[in-house]
Amino acid sequence: MSKIFKLIIACTTLLVFSFVFFRLLTKSPINSDNNIFDRNSNTKQETPTIPHKNNLPRVVIVLGTRPEAIKCAPLISHLKSNYSSELELIVLSTGQHSEILKQTLAVFDQHVDIDLELMEPNQSISSFFTLAYQRISLEFERQGPISIVLVQGDTTTSLAAALAASYLKIPVGHVEAGLRSYDFNSPFPEELNCKMIDSFARLLFAPTDFSKAALVREGICPQHVHVTGNTGIDSFYSLMSVPPKIIPEFLKNIKSFKGSNDHAAETLAIESHHRIVILVTMHRRENIPHFKEMCNAIKTISNTFGKNVMIILPVHPNPNAKSVVNEVLSALDNVQLVDPIAYDIFPHVISEADIIVTDSGGIQEESASIGKPVILMRDTTERPEGIYIGTIKKIGVNYFHIVKAMTDAIKDSQNSKQILSKHIFGDGKASMRISKIVRDFVTSKLPDSIECSTQFIQDSIAESVYSQNFTIRK
């Protein structure tokens, strides 16, 4: 008996010692409120539990970044204004881009219902994902039952929310599904995020026929994929039709520059002495090592075309990007470095520009939708539709390629406007289509297809694999 008792004492001592040693290693006090076994750890503040409204099906849209806010705003608006008697909508933010997200939603008279405020200084992708997954899971449990969770695009917020929903057996709807570069390193981690979400989403809202075809090739049931157009184009068109309340100085300068008749010096083979406005945006994480080369190419264009061009470049707040841009371009008279442009102003800047040079995804879509030639400073793109039909020219980040592409575009700018106006990425009605499908789904008006059933899919695979050598038994 004493041997057993001693063994129990020894085991208990070992467990206590191990626990204390672990806490010392993690530099966390034993009596800390941040208990490692507490599922509510890292909670900055208690979020409100929102009472259910008349037992309506509850739809939760999760977002965290400015691009998500831009592309979800028209969907939020449409669901609220058209289906508030049939479903209840909650907008949940992780706060990945907290302030600018709220400002962007405010442009569309929308707001966040629950803000988790998860972003911290110097946070890695993996640490943010871990925290977001944990907190979103708790929030879904607190706000349940939930009929569907909608996520947009390819952000870390979207992946965390989609996985959290799926593990709680909540259906997921993926807005902007099927975008593929087929390179997990570019864009990173967006390509990885998007492909994972698509693999288990129940409703997939593909912006184009191309993106639907990409999904079907991966084995996604075609009846789960709906071609809707891109909700970002809905936002873009709605703001294009509204004059900005406050016109920033640089936009006044653009209008003044284009209206000027002073072409005294540098015509350089530009037809009709046409003055060209070039909008340049650079922000991609994978391009930061190449920013100096990209900026030097822009500097060459600035020096070559002089007074005949005005280059507008919103400077990304990333310190590594900002320092390079300022070092190379700040002294040039015909280059205007401006702060990030508010989204209600941005469509009007694109409208005034003659050429768009970018590494952005959304700007490719917006520019092409109003017939602007786009030079894409990336080696890969998940939006190849514009390349194949001629609205986007992909040139990578090489100095000589950028200079040549920009030079050609400047000289051909007048002709380019006549051939590029196509609704490749949407017609401004994507949110209307998605809202109706979501309403039908949560009110059981969207029937399941037999072709998406486990038995049908397995039977189809068996026919393909075994039919030549065996009699298939079903």
Looking at the annotation, which residues are catalytic?
154, 176, 190, 283, 285, 316
Cα–Cα distance list, 321 to 67, 91, 113, 426 (Å): 19, 32, 33, 32
Q: How far apart (Å, rounded) are the C-alpha atoms in residues 86 and 443? A: 8
- Here the tokens at position 433 are 């289509």
Q: How far apart (Å, rounded) are the C-alpha atoms in residues 438 and 60? A: 11
Q: How many CA atoms lie within 13 A of 284 on its CB side?
A: 25
Strands (E), 294-349: 309-314, 335-338
Cα–Cα distance list, 292 to 323, 333, 378, 397 (Å): 10, 19, 15, 10
Give the type of residue at 124: S
- Contact (CB, 8 A) for 325 and 337: yes
- DSSP label at 61? E
Q: How far apart (Å, rounded) are the C-alpha atoms in residues 386 and 405? A: 16
The number of residues in the chain equals 474
- DSSP label at 202? S
Question: CA angle at residue 141 from 140 to 147, to 5 degrees?
Answer: 60
Q: How far apart (Å, rounded) are the C-alpha atoms in residues 304 and 325? A: 19
- Contact (CB, 8 A) for 309 and 343: no
Q: Report the candidate in 410, 403, 185 with the shortest Cα–Cα distance to residue 294.
A: 403
For 91, phi then psi, to 5°, come to -110, 120
Residues 6 or more apart from 72 whose CB is under 8 A from it?
61, 63, 91, 150, 152, 175, 231
Cα–Cα distance list, 309 to 4, 95, 352, 357, 432 (Å): 88, 39, 13, 14, 40
Q: How far apart (Å, rounded) are the C-alpha atoms in residues 278 and 363? A: 13
- Contact (CB, 8 A) for 206 and 237: no
